[in-house]
Amino acid sequence: MFKKLFSKKESVEQLLAPINGQVIKIEEVPDPVFSGKMMGDGIAILPEEGLVVSPIDAEVIQVFHTKHALGLRTKNGIELLIHIGLETVNLKGEGFEVHVAEGQRVKAGDKLVTFDIDFLKSNAPSIVTPIVVTNGELVEKLEKTNNTQATINDTEIMSVYLK
């Protein structure tokens, strides 16, 4: 008889850029809820256009009625929040169009939300868009990109290593 050796394989979720734009450290987001990581750790992108796609294969678990944010859950249980702009909840959905519904399965690169970037620039304090892991208790390690520019569905923005 022989004995099979099994090793614990490290599970990792790799997130691609959901937005074209400039990468910003979460600590530099001009909102203490995000910069203080109260919602979770992650990064932010200053959008160059009004398109948000899924950064990973996932299920849409929440679409805010004000259309400014949504939540995703990966097959391994990692939950992500994509929050378009700061204080954009006050716009009450104006300037946003959501292309998915709660419970829907999406693939990396699928269109989630489009928004009027000029309207947001004129009516919100900032268009910076945080992408955060909201259930950090499942995370062993979070590696963030060193890139300063993100390209939709191309630039790897974060690797999330699961416990």
Largest CA distance in the chain: 72
Q: Let me know: does 128 contact 21? Beta carbons within 8 Å.
A: no
Instruction: Report the length, in residues, of the chain.
Output: 163
DSSP β-bridge partners for residue 160: 13, 142
Catalytic residue from among 65, 68, 83, 99? 83
Active site residue 65: no
Residue ranges in the chain assigned as alpha helix (H): 32-35, 117-123
**Location of structure tokens 């700061």:** 86
Q: Is 136 helix (H, G, I), strand (E, B) or coil?
A: helix
> Cβ of 148: how many Cβ atoms within 10 Å?
8
Q: Which residues are catalytic?
A: 83
